[in-house]
């Protein structure tokens, strides 16, 4: 059965001309040189399944999960082939068919996608337990004893990828509504899931920059995951349920924009309407939602925000989050903001838009391939001689930080908005001193 692929417009599947211009941009094809590991190879397989020539079987499922879903092929394609919907529909059919099912995989998908990342309170509970083990150094104790290896070898391998949990989460750092003295616009902000529990300071920085830009900021409580993990991994039912919850939580009619500061999340958030049938009321609501979503850098440039000048800066380079660059087409705006702030200290990064290997849960499901891509990215970063690499996605942040740590590098990983927030605070302090 290929129910989700069958729902796709046949013309969408026929757009690919097999020109091959996508091949040099595809990380898996660059690694193996195999046609089946390329975008056009995968599209050929999808067409065969759609027409009934191939079944939704294990080999098809394995190939679709070899793909990072980075969407670099979409940027490279001269015909405008929309690979994303095909990719998600294929994975949804794979999960519906059970082609890759075995008890262990089903358990972990249920625990992570259906439980922890579907319910904010469960995510916060797990995060607090992890935080406790990190603060008390129980994690180090268990690692030395090999406890996780005894429970399951994969747990021991994955444990180093656990992010450092924030002392406070976003709702402890950000009021439900914050406003500058003279607000000119009203926005709402998404706090996310990993961003909320591991990078709450970045969410705080985002609010501070938005306030400096004259925006009143509304931050609804208990937001949780946006559903991108679910949609990208074949669980469209959960993705729809989460989308409905978020749309009910945010005051769509009251705000000028809904701000995302995570590249992977923002790419999914822009396409809620694709989760619902065209004749449904939910589709109309989702289309309004889609029209309001803005990446924070995109929004700041759109409203003409000018970062403060005259602030000492480090030599900085910028890595493009795949889904920010290829999924949202936001690439020039972060660079423009950083360039105007850093006064010539922004240096180019070779292969800036090549995937770092994080790719949602790819670094968990395909750790060896992800590590190779991570090492390649770190080599390019180190070659810039930069003191800091700016990254606008939590998965990329964690992946690159691990790679830099493994290389023994002192290069810092920061979100561009955190660099902006620091400059705004320094500028504000200077202004206060000047008035004394």
pLDDT tens across 98-157, in order? 999 888 888 888 988 899 999 999 999 999 999 999 999 988 887 877 777 776 666 766
Domain termination residue (choose one: 258, 281, 305):
305
What CATH number does the domain containing 15 carry? 1.10.1060.10
Alpha carbons 91 and 85: distance in angstroms, whole number:
10
When the pLDDT of each residue in the chain is averaged and rounded to a whole number, the result is: 91
Q: Are residues 120 and 47 in the same domain?
A: no
Q: Are residues 290 and 335 in the same domain?
A: no
Q: Is residue 434, in this structure, part of any structural domain at all?
A: no
Q: Is residue 436, in this structure, part of any structural domain at all?
A: no
Q: Is residue 50, in this structure, part of any structural domain at all?
A: yes
Alpha carbons 253 and 378: distance in angstroms, whole number:
43
Q: Are residues 421 and 325 in the same domain?
A: yes
Q: Are residues 185 and 73 in the same domain?
A: no
Domain termination residue (choose one: 305, 325, 353):
305
Q: Are residues 340 and 264 in the same domain?
A: no
Number of structural domains, the chain?
3
Domain termination residue (choose one: 71, 97, 123):
97
Segment holding 196, helix H or strand E: helix 194-198
| pLDDT given at position 433 | 44
Q: Are residues 112 and 225 in the same domain?
A: yes
Q: Is residue 240, in this structure, part of any structural domain at all?
A: yes
Q: Are 188 and 258 in contact (CB under 8 A)?
A: yes
Q: Are residues 151 and 273 in the same domain?
A: yes
Res 430 pLDDT > 60: no
Q: Is residue 417, in this structure, part of any structural domain at all?
A: yes
Res 436 pLDDT > 60: no
Q: Are residues 34 and 7 in the same domain?
A: yes
Q: Are residues 226 and 342 in the same domain?
A: no
Res 1 pLDDT > 70: no
Q: Are residues 40 and 88 in the same domain?
A: yes
Q: Are 223 and 293 in contact (CB under 8 A)?
A: no
Q: Is residue 433, in this structure, part of any structural domain at all?
A: no
Q: Is residue 435, in this structure, part of any structural domain at all?
A: no
Q: Are residues 187 and 264 in the same domain?
A: yes
Q: Is residue 377, in this structure, part of any structural domain at all?
A: yes
Alpha carbons 129 and 149: distance in angstroms, whole number:
19
Q: Whole domain around residue 350: which residue ranges?
A: 316-426
- Contacts of residue 359, defined as CB under 8 A and 6 or more positions apart, other chains included, come to 68, 69, 70, 322, 370, 395
| Sign of the C-alpha dihedral computed for residues 236, 237, 238 and 240 taken in this order | positive
| pLDDT given at position 156 | 67
Confidence of residue 435 (pLDDT cuts 50, 70, 90): very low
Q: Are residues 229 and 288 in the same domain?
A: yes
Q: The pTM is what? A: 0.91
| 300-350: pLDDT as tens digits | 999 999 988 777 789 999 999 999 999 999 999 999 999 999 888 999 999
């Amino acid at each position: 059965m290929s129910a989700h692929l069958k729902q796709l417009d046949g013309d969408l599947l026929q757009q690919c001309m097999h020109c091959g211009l996508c091949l040099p941009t595809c990380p898996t094809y660059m690694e193996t040189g195999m046609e089946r590991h390329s975008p056009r190879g995968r599209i050929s397989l999808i067409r065969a399944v759609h027409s009934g020539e191939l079944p939704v079987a294990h080999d098809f499922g394995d190939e679709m999960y070899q793909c990072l879903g980075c969407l670099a092929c979409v940027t490279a394609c001269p015909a405008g082939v929309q690979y994303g919907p095909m990719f998600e529909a294929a994975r949804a059919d794979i999960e519906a068919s059970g082609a890759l099912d075995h008890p262990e995989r089903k358990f972990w998908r249920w625990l992570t996608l259906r439980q922890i990342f579907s319910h904010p309170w469960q995510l916060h509970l797990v995060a607090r337990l992890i935080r406790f083990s990190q603060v008390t150094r129980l994690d180090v104790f268990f690692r030395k004893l090999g406890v996780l290896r005894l429970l399951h070898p994969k747990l021991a391998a994955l444990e180093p990828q656990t992010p450092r949990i924030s002392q406070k989460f976003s709702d402890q750092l950000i009021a439900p509504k914050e406003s500058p003295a003279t607000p000119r616009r009203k926005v709402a902000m998404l706090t996310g899931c990993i961003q909320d529990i591991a990078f709450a300071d970045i969410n705080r920085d985002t609010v501070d920059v938005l306030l400096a830009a004259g925006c009143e900021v509304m931050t609804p409580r208990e937001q949780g995951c946006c559903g991108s993990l679910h949609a990208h991994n074949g669980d469209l039912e959960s993705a729809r349920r989460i989308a409905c919850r978020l749309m009910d939580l945010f005051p769509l009619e009251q705000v000028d924009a809904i701000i995302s500061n995570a590249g992977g999340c923002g790419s999914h958030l822009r396409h809620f309407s694709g989760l619902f049938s065209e004749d449904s009321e939910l589709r109309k609501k989702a289309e309004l939602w889609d029209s309001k979503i803005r990446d924070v850098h995109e929004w700041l440039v759109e409203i003409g925000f000018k970062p403060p000048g005259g602030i000492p800066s480090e030599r900085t380079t910028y890595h493009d989050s795949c889904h920010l660059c290829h999924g949202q087409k936001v690439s020039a705006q972060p660079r423009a903001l950083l360039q105007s702030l850093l006064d010539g200290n922004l240096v180019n990064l070779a292969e800036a838009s090549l995937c770092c290997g994080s790719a949602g849960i790819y670094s968990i499901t395909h750790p060896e391939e992800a590590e190779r891509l991570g090492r390649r990215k770190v080599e390019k970063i180190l070659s810039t001689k930069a003191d800091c690499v700016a990254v606008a996605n939590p998965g990329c942040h964690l992946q690159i930080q691990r790679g830099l740590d493994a290389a023994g590098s002192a290069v810092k990983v920061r979100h561009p908005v955190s660099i902006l927030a620091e400059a705004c605070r320094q500028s504000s302090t200077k202004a206060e001193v000047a008035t004394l």
